[in-house]
Structure 1
Amino acid sequence: MGFLLGAMLLLSQQGILDTYSLQMDTILLDSLYSNPYADYHFPALIVTEAGACSCLAGFRGGTSLNLPKKSWKFELFDNTLLNASHILLDAQYRDLTLMRNVLGLYLTERLGRPASMTEHVELYVNDEYYGVYVQVERIDEFFYDRNNLGYGPLFKSVNHLGRFAWQPSDTLGTTGFESKRGSEAYLPLVRQLIDAVNLFTPLSIDQDDYLAYAAVSIAILDGDALSKNYYIHFTPEGKWRFYPWDRDATFGNTWKGEYLPGWTQLKSVYCFERSSLISRLLMQDDCSTQFDDYFLHAGEIMADELPFIIDSIFLDIQASVFADPLKQGTNDEFVEAVAVLRQAVIDRGQFIPGIAGAYTPLHVESMLLSECEFESDDDSVTVTIEFLEPAALANLHYWNDAVEVNSVEMNQDDQFGYVWSQTVNFPAIYENLLFSVGSKAQVGSGRSNSFSFYPLYGPPSSISRRVCAPSARRSSWQLDFTKLEVLSPVRYTLFLWSIPVVNTSDDLQDLSLCGFQTGDPPARVFAGAGTIVIPGDTIYLTNDQAMLELLLPGKTIVGDFVIDSPANTDLLLLDPSWETEMQVTLEEENPFYQSGLALNELMAKNDTTISDNYGEYDDWIEITNTGSNDINLSGYYLTDDAADPFKFAFPDTVIHPGDYFIVWADDD
């Protein structure tokens, strides 16, 4: 240990930065570099200024894993050493200055909102100098404690679907958000937030967190923010908090590491315009005012403070960066990049007051399609949108599952700019077309700085990242909502219900791309392509599609509604263009079995939770008597195969009211 500490102190004389020294078996280290995408984490020893401890060491990051200089993660076995569970070291290879992430997170903290602390450090691996890294504070219990935040479910937006977009029911519905710190069971809370944002119901969020985050994102022109690279945290008070992350594609730097001259004069960025939450908030006068205040304050900090912070960081890291063997570029390029960044933050800070007050999303009164159901021939669709405020321009975006997004300018249909329309071809080779409208508001004699969209999240960033939108489709079966009979909701277990909808016609009913909305506050789901109900059959709307598929194998099921119960609320059925075609007030729930028997709970993949009398961990189903009389199970059967309804015969057993009976799925 003494030798390691001595070596660390000797080598750190290249600069004045804190130093980490990692000791790892060379075979394991070679394995890391040979398999950078394998997510390996190997035992190692980390030596710090405060002492040493064992750890698990590995690479971290996404697209950066293929770069010469890797980012690192050390999971500490002794959390008391640094009052932290992990050390996260960002290589910042694509940022020649190694400062952008530091400056971006600093701005959020200066605006009074929580953000990770950062520090430039040196790293040695097996006594070899690996260069300068940015240590970034992990979002975890230590971060919560430092910011006086309670513990709660945590999620990270990892791609551009993490912008609170509705997704078809044949997807997870929360794709784009990644559960962190064991929060998988709470993903429905994210789905609930997506509904609240897009249905304009009350939001349980810290508005200042998000407004400050958005203001900084525009101030530093973060091309990777708002629709990805941020954390959301559900606190014990039932409020969502927002924390920025990965602010290196900023201040004119792209995620590829390319510098954009003239960025200081730009007014908007893709991710800002596609954020449904910022559009929703900026439609409120109080939020719009607060956003402008944060935006102007960020500009002042950039012009007045950041140049001196850049100078200070440069003095601290210059010697260490010059000696960095893995950095991008030469020493002269590093010095030049810092000088360019220093002047750019001044220019941008001085430019911001001139563009404040003009981020104005438009409210949409209606968006109508001339027709939403077509047969097999080539045809066309006219899309008409009406705004509550005059628009300066409007663009129609359209796409399907096989074609990237196309865009065309819309025509102004009235004198003042409230109504716009455009007609596009609907070729016979396409099964569907989805539509979104981007618009800019009239602001004084000019226009808004950025586009806003309907739906709020706009078109997809790629066709593989599917979002829901008003649609036109081709189908061999015309949809007739008058032939659909909505039955009373059915309660299966404490956490599972469905709404049966029966096709009473003699024809198939194609519900592909149709929407369903119920609950108070409401939730909405959209059927995926190929959702067809045969005559006399039933489609089941539910809060847990995967669970109901276990109980009703082979049935057509659409979910997931994140509501406790649909009873005594209205059910809206929407056609593919999102027009409401049917509205029904739902009645009280009926239990699954009128006899009083109900499937109360089941567990699939029971690996370690509950064992049977033989110590085996088999899947199980729990049945309860919800009635007021004894029930003899003799004559009842249980099956997971619709073709074999008598697969398991219950024994001659009596369940008393309120009692439970467990069936172990072990074939015994």
Structure 2
Amino acid sequence: MKNRYLQLLIIAGSFFFLLLLNTPSAAQNRYFEESEKIFAAAGVAEIRIQIRPDYLAYILAEENEDSDSLFTATMLFKNNEITGDTLENVGFRLRGNTSRGSHKRSFKVDINEFVKGRDFYGLEKLNINGEHNDPSILRSMISWKLFELAEIPASRSTYAALFINNNYYGLYVLVEHIDDEFVKARFDGPMGNLYKCLWPADLTIPDQNNYKEVSGGRRTYDLKTNKAADDYSDLKNFIEFINYADDRTFAQRIEEVFNVPMFMRFLALNTLVGMWDDYWFNKNNFYVYHNLRSDKFEFIPYDYDNTYGIDWFNIDWAARNIYEFGNEREPRPLVTRLLAIPAYKNLYSHSIDEFINGIFRKADQAIYLESWHTEARLFVQIDPFYSLPPYNFTYNGDWENALTAASGRHVKYGIYDYIDRRIATARSQLRTGPLPLQILDLTVSNEFPVIGEQVKISCTVTSNDAIDDVECVYQINEGVRQVLNLARDADQSQAGAGEVIWSAQLPALQKNESMRFFLRAKGTAGAWSLFPKDAPGDPVQLFATDEDITYPIVINEFMAANDSALVDEAGEFDDWLELYNPADSSVNLSGMFLSDNPENHTKWMLPDTSIEAGGFLLIWADEDGSQGPLHANFKISRNGEFLGLYAPTTEGNFVIDSLSFGPLWANVSLGRVADGGDKWDFFESSTPGFSNATTGVFENQNASFTADIFQITAPFPNPAKEKFRVGIHVKTGEKVRLTVHDIRGRMISDKTVFSKKNAEQFVEFDCTQWAVGLYFIVAVTNGERVVKKITRLR
């Protein structure tokens, strides 16, 4: 058996970064790699919109300020990373709420409304915010930066100078749009439901149980993904739980349905920046996302210009009690019930303390604020809308002094004064106590037990609180959930200071049985902590087997940066990997899994297909299963990551083959030098669907004939849409057989020509009936063999 002893270990460190963060690394997702060219670039970007004057007049007309109608336009974008990219047929419209009635409007650019499937450095939409309430044009920028530094899933932002029809419209804040690409980049697993929650989204039971209730012409909880299904049952179950669960059940199971530790971290930072136009005070401006991997809801912040002392309620937000920041006259069940549990209230306090002694310190924030203030100076000075009503901000007064002085009216603080007062009052109000327990690790004595074998599990628990209970919640096959109590282990020799090892014997599994389980632990402060962090949706799994099962299939070659080398049947240049069967008989792949995450062995199940003896199978890693059964639900990062092939769950779900790799170049594959062998190397000429061995097969892209015996030219044109031709040259004059094969090795064309002795001749192929994709032309004569590649486009 493989892996007779398994240890799942999380290294101890800061409480929060141990257990709470459930965002995949940026290296796992090309979205971050591309979009960072927009949001991480220094300086002020430039956005130029060209739009028909009558379209622009309609957008800006006062009577149309509530319209979301999109109009076609052309966008040019450039910054210090992007020299100047032009997109035609983008959608352009107004966005926002109160800004629609201001002189300085906010706008949205829709990249793929009129050109389906298109993105701009990973982004499908751009939010161009005027920040008309904020004389500093800094408040949302610093708020988003703090969320990033705290590793809380939230939008990124940058400055942009906006021009429309060559007229300067002022300095704007470009804010990352929250959509399916946003959540895919931050949460692993299938696409769940994403809800945009606007006033009056208080998470109470809606009137007549109508979770699709409409307010202000749009749904209060507006579903942004999986719209065709329009299924709100998950949101209904979540809201009913936080409203109806009794106190004991709520404390025990809230972390099974909601990412509480991350939310408490968010809530602390939200309070410090003084964001009142939020869920807690104003039942407004947030998203919730149902993370299908963990089966928990995630909370995502939204819209942060009303912060750092901006006020419309005559409330001093810099001094407001950190435990009573919300609206005490209205129900907010999510926050109220969480803060009623001492451990979660203490966790909130712990985050407040961490931030005011870390990223929220004035000196830390000033690094960004001073830099942005300098970058923005010229752009604000000539901003044509900055000084217009209703606020009549002045450059020399309001903007120049925005860091140190209030502007009056709704701007009650300069940013630095707000930070000083908020830190001082928060510190005076702060009350601390025992935190939720931490389950640091899990040890399983046998990952693949044989029939009837008992498995011991043990875990290390630590906290500044006394430990009340440690439990294992398990389920055999699809049976009911059961609870097993753990006890203090007799051997505490491996426990560190403040740590206790707990253990138990799991029930023995019978043939073909599997067990899914997770751990939970409770201290006297009342909260139940879970392990692993993505439980219960992604628990620990055990499988019983009765023999040492092996599979011969290997990952043989892959390409993580397919910029222009190989197109799939949809005409797209997507990542790919190749499986190889070195056995002397066919192997069925049904039930096996591929994954780019070593912690998720069941990420993508292979279809019911087989690889013949010595055969190959190409898999597209493009996150687009709609294109066919051989399209996986993950991509391969060109920055390097992990690939694994796993056995079916009925056979133990063990690792069949896996590898980790570093950065790869564009259009270069990494493959085994000998098919199925141990040695890997880079291939500038990849061989998807064919042997990696090149003996007797070569590809010469030169059109000149230099071979002593036999040569064919590269196909022309390549890529081709309707027809292409190749040239052949045989010095001795022989019969030449030309066959064309698709990516799976199936022959789709067969021609035989009689070559002229020592002369050039050309053979034409009609490819109009071929599917879009890569093909191989194989020329054979007198024992010699040459292979060329041709790509067919629409």
Instruction: Name the TM-score, length of structure 1 as normaliser.
Output: 0.48
Larger CA Rg, structure 1 vs 2: 2
